[in-house]
Amino acid sequence: MVVTARLSAATLDQLPTEVRRPRYDRSSVECGIVHLGPGAFHRVHQAWYAEQWLATDRRWGIAGVSLRSDALRAALAAQDGLYTLAVVDESPSFEVLGSLREVLVAGDQPAAALRRVARPETRLLTMTVTEKGYCLDVDGHLDHTHPDVRHDLEQPRLPRSAIGFVVEGLRLRRELGLPPVPVMSCDNLAGNGHQLSAAVRGLAAALDPSLAAWIEGEVPFPCTMVDSITPATTPELRERVAAATGLEDAWPVQREAFVQWVVEEHRAVQSPDWAAAGVVVTNDVAGYERAKLRLLNGAHSTLAYVGLLQGHATVREAMQDGALEALVRDLMLDDVAPTLRAVQGLDVTEYVDAVLRRFRNPVIRHELAQIAWDGSKKLPVRILGTVRDALAAGRPLDRLCVPLAAWMHFVRRRVAAGVPLVDPLSDRLDELARGRTDGSAANDVAAFLALGEVFPRDLAAAAPFRVALERAYARVGSAAAALT
């Protein structure tokens, strides 16, 4: 197909009938949401949910605020803020979204960006800025030595950090006599609302104790959980979008069909109709987080380490290995599920089925090697909590030890092959693995268990765990590894 026009409000009527597009008057949309960090995940996730609300309620358009980069603003300016979402699955679909009504860059238009927060129609302040954007130290407190925090303490009216932007925006609302707005983290962090609240209150307290008191008493920081695999935008995606829509799109985005947003019940001044868009509202976000970490993320790590040892490269390829698919299914249903408390609205069996369908997606190429990064940080939260609960309940540990043993072999073999490890403990792991040349289960497992940053001392000392891990290490390391 020869593409002759750029996506814009003027060319929407040129879209094929099968491509969805805004069915509302965009000129009547208010920016009820201000979002910090309008990257790809925001545009496939929260902006897609807002599109559902706008069909019946024009108050929930989005003003995106980029803290520094003007790349998105430049890309979408000629498109009237419109862009294409490609849902990649066996039956792909394409949709043009119009909920992102404005993109501001705080770095070169700070006053305009802050005024957006302090407008009467603003009802919700959300953010996806990744963990480092919270400027917290290892103890979960605001890091006053962070360069951006130091800047914001000296020049609070011209904030550089996301936290400084939130504090100044809330200060302006208070000064103008406007009601507070919920401030909602949509980052993939456990207890993200608590972490965001700690950072905001910490900076506010350093600047103005009365403002900090007002924030603590009046501003909700609900926790959330978000989920959807979002591959990066590639030239190939741009070509597929152009072929499907007949229009050029400077920055389309893509995600898998599965999408989830779980929001904590909160005392918001005004909020959208969460349920109408399929958002789960609950008083137990932590229960959903625990299920995701232990079921989905635990199974992901299992596929990664065992799959790589078996010679597989991607999640899809690993799931075509019948023994490996059975391993992750049984791990989730028989080992992880019994450690989860009942969560209202969450059917564990249906969730496991959804996870397995996602892993089988033939379109998304999810590299096992990438999932295997940072194992020393991921495994304690993805696997060891389940191990601890199973140990306390006297349940079998053999299958749960397989991903841990596979990680140990993965580290040992990568180091032996001279392949650099992507891990915060890479230097220590490299040194440890260089002494593991014979694959002896007792010696190797003992050396890894001595890593206190990974294995808590009491768990490493538990004989049933150590024995089960040694058995798994011997099985996984053998040529005919018995995965179950």
pLDDT of residue 138: 81
Q: Which two tokens stand for residue 407?
A: 């990680």
CA 386 – CA 255 distance, rounded (Å): 29
pLDDT of residue 118: 97
Domain 286-477: give its CATH superfamily.
N-(1-d-carboxylethyl)-l-norvaline Dehydrogenase; domain 2 (1.10.1040.10)
Contact yes or no for 291/340 (Cβ under 8 A): yes
pLDDT of residue 139: 86
Contact yes or no for 400/333 (Cβ under 8 A): no
CA 404 – CA 266 distance, rounded (Å): 38
24 vs 9, 31, 155, CA distance in Å? 12, 14, 41
Q: Count how many Cα atoms sit within 13 Å of the Cα of residue 93 in the half-sphere of its side chain.
A: 11
Contact yes or no for 75/60 (Cβ under 8 A): no
| Amino acid symbol at 2 | V
C-beta atoms surrounding 450 within 10 Å: 12
Dihedral (Cα; 250, 102, 274, 161), 10-degree rounding: 100
DSSP letter for 178, please: P
Contact yes or no for 45/186 (Cβ under 8 A): yes
SS3 state at 196: helix
C-beta atoms surrounding 203 within 10 Å: 27
Residue intervals of the chain classified under CATH 1.10.1040.10 are 286-477
pLDDT of residue 257: 95
SS3 state at 219: coil
Residue intervals of the chain classified under CATH 3.40.50.720 are 9-283
- Start-to-end Cα distance in the chain: 50
pLDDT of residue 19: 98
Q: Which residues contact 396 (CB under 8 A, 6 or more apart)?
A: 335, 390, 468
Nearest to 249 by CA among 258, 259, 239, 257: 239
State whether the Cα torsion 376-380-382-387 is positive or negative: positive
Q: Which two tokens stand for residue 34?
A: 């201000």
Q: Is 246 left (phi over 0), alpha (psi -120 to 50) or beta?
A: left
Nearest to 284 by CA among 258, 260, 262: 262
State whether the Cα torsion 136-139-141-143 is positive or negative: negative
SS3 state at 478: coil
Q: Which two tokens stand for residue 198?
A: 């700690």
DSSP result, 398-435 = HHHHHHHHHHHHHHHHHHHTTPPP-STTHHHHHHHHHT
pLDDT of residue 3: 64
| Amino acid symbol at 334 | D
Nearest to 448 by CA among 401, 404, 387: 404
Q: Pairing mode, if any, of strands 33-36 and 62-66?
A: parallel
CATH code at 9-283: 3.40.50.720
Nearest to 197 by CA among 153, 136, 258: 136
pLDDT of residue 1: 56
Q: Pairing mode, if any, of strands 260-264 and 224-227?
A: antiparallel
Q: What is the pLDDT along the chain (484 residues), one digit of tens a residue?
A: 566 799 999 999 999 999 999 999 999 999 999 999 999 999 999 999 999 999 999 999 999 999 999 999 999 999 999 999 999 988 899 999 999 999 999 999 999 999 999 999 999 999 999 989 999 988 889 999 999 999 999 999 999 999 999 999 999 999 999 999 999 999 999 999 999 999 999 999 999 999 999 999 999 999 999 999 999 999 999 999 999 999 999 999 999 999 999 999 987 767 899 999 999 999 999 999 999 999 999 999 999 999 999 999 999 999 999 999 999 999 999 999 999 999 999 999 999 999 999 999 999 889 999 999 999 999 999 999 999 999 999 999 999 999 999 999 999 999 999 999 999 999 999 999 987 766 689 899 999 999 999 999 999 999 999 999 999 999 998 744 444 4
